[in-house]
């Protein structure tokens, strides 16, 4: 039996990487999926891939740091399918890899705007929609950088710690209204973001796998599909007693 049959799911930052894999996984499990991204071309490509499988999906462009865009995205979901059951707040950026004293205010503000304000705005709009139809489930994308520190990534680390804080509070505030809110904390995952971080950290002298795989006890980096599997499970009835959790998917990284 499909985990998400007849459910409506929203995925932000779904034009590539973890977001695209998650949108595809929701569709595979029977959900009707709204794909959102600031990059319209990439988002439409995800929709095309989903529709080729025979599943139902459409696209809503949104910059999650913009409140009007976020509300328009939710309005699009409701206008298309009448309800919102599941949401994955995945949109995020990494920014510059520099010591704190070399980080610009502009870089800090942009990372906080997308990674933290974006999750805040999405939570507000998603929860408001879910309250009208009896509940739902939300997964926020944090990071192992939301659990521990990473030299050179102070704005990113601050944003992801903030995501975990928002997750805890939202889970507590809306548990009795049937809304579950969790975050996941990926380690090194094979995505363009990880490629960018590795290139900045090594000056392009080492591949992502060469740099990151030895840092994980399992001896490799993860895949976007492995993260997507966890996200969809957390949104499913199989995780009905899980809320307010921050779940690492990191090959044992933070266990060290």
Question: Is the confidence at residue 203, as pLDDT, over 80?
Answer: no
Name the CA dihedral angle for 141, 189, 36, 57, rounded to a multiple of 10 degrees.
-110
Residue 255, domain member (yes or no): no
Taking phi first (over 0 means left), then psi (-120 to 50 degrees means alpha), and beta for anything else, what does residue 183 get? beta
Residue 1, domain member (yes or no): no
CATH number at residue 131: 3.40.50.720
User: How far, CA to CA in Å, does 147 sit from each of 49, 119, 140, 144, 182?
Assistant: 34, 17, 14, 5, 14
Average pLDDT, the chain: 94
Q: What are the φ/ψ torsions at residue 59 (nearest 5 degrees)?
A: -120, 140
Total domains in the fold of the chain = 1
Q: What is the pTM of this model?
A: 0.95
Averaged over 33-52, what is the pLDDT? Answer: 98
pLDDT of residue 45: 98
Higher pLDDT, 80 or 207: 80
Taking only the tens place, the pLDDT of each residue in 116-153 is 999 999 999 999 999 999 999 999 999 999 999 999 99
pLDDT of residue 123: 98
Q: What are the φ/ψ torsions at residue 240 (nearest 5 degrees)?
A: -60, -20
Residue 208, domain member (yes or no): no
> What is the span of the domain harbouring residue 108?
8-187+222-249
Residue 200, domain member (yes or no): no
Angle, alpha carbons 210-213-217 (nearest 5°): 150
| Residue 135 near residue 177, CB atoms below 8 Å | yes
pLDDT of residue 86: 98
Could you give the CA distance from residue 118 to residue 236 in angstroms, rounded to a whole number?
24
What residues are labeled active site? 156
Nearest to 60 by CA among 91, 95, 94: 91
Question: Is the confidence at residue 193, as pLDDT, over 80?
Answer: no
Taking phi first (over 0 means left), then psi (-120 to 50 degrees means alpha), and beta for anything else, what does residue 134 get? left
């Amino acid at each position: 039996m499909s985990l998400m049959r007849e459910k409506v799911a929203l995925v932000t930052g779904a034009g590539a990487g973890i977001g695209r894999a998650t949108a595809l996984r929701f569709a595979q499990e029977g959900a009707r999926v709204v794909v959102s991204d600031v990059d319209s071309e990439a988002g439409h490509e995800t929709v095309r891939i989903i529709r080729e499988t025979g599943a139902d999906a459409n696209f809503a462009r949104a910059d999650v740091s913009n409140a009007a865009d976020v509300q328009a995205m939710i309005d699009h979901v409701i206008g298309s399918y009448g309800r919102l059951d599941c949401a994955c707040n995945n949109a995020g950026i990494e920014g510059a890899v520099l010591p704190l004293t070399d980080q610009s205010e502009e870089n800090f503000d942009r990372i906080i705007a997308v990674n933290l304000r974006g999750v805040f705005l999405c939570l507000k709009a998603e929860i408001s929609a879910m309250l009208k139809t009896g509940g739902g489930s939300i997964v926020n994308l944090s990071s192992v950088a939301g659990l521990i520190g990473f030299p050179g990534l102070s704005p990113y680390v601050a944003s992801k710690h903030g995501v975990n804080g928002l997750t805890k509070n939202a889970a507590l505030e809306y548990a009795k209204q049937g809304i579950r809110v969790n975050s996941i904390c990926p380690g090194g995952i094979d995505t363009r973001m990880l490629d960018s971080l590795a290139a900045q950290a090594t000056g392009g002298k080492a591949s992502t796998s060469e740099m990151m795989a030895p840092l994980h006890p399992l001896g490799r980096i993860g895949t976007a599909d492995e993260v997507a599997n966890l996200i969809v499970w957390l949104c499913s009835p199989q995780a009905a007693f899980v809320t307010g959790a921050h779940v690492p998917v990191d090959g044992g990284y933070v266990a060290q």
